[in-house]
Amino acid sequence: MEIRKGRLIQFRGSWGSGLGTLEIEDSETGECEPVPCDNGATVRALEAAFGNVITDGHTANGGYK
């Protein structure tokens, strides 16, 4: 599947493994596609863009507070 324009549905990541997944919904077909990503860099980018991304007790650099 190739997404040209879409909507971010959710992000899941693990600081332990460093892996993350963005779920993107294709704006034309409505199909959702998981997109693998680097957890740390993606969390920091989402936090900078939208805020309130990091759950309580966690940090943007991995681990717990």
Residue ranges with strand state E in 1-65? 6-14, 19-26, 32-38
pLDDT at 9: 93
In this predicted structure, the answer to whether residue 63 has a pLDDT above a threshold of 80 is: no
0.85 surpassed by pTM: no
pLDDT of residue 3: 61
pLDDT top residue among 65 and 11: 11
Query: What ranges do the domains of the chain cover?
Result: 6-50
Residue 61 reports pLDDT greater than 70: no
Mean pLDDT of the chain, nearest integer:
84
Q: How far is CA 61 from CA 38, 45, 54, in A?
A: 12, 12, 10
Region 26-43: mean pLDDT is 91
Taking the CA atoms of residue 59, residue 18, residue 16 and residue 26 in that order, the dihedral angle to the nearest 10 degrees is: 80
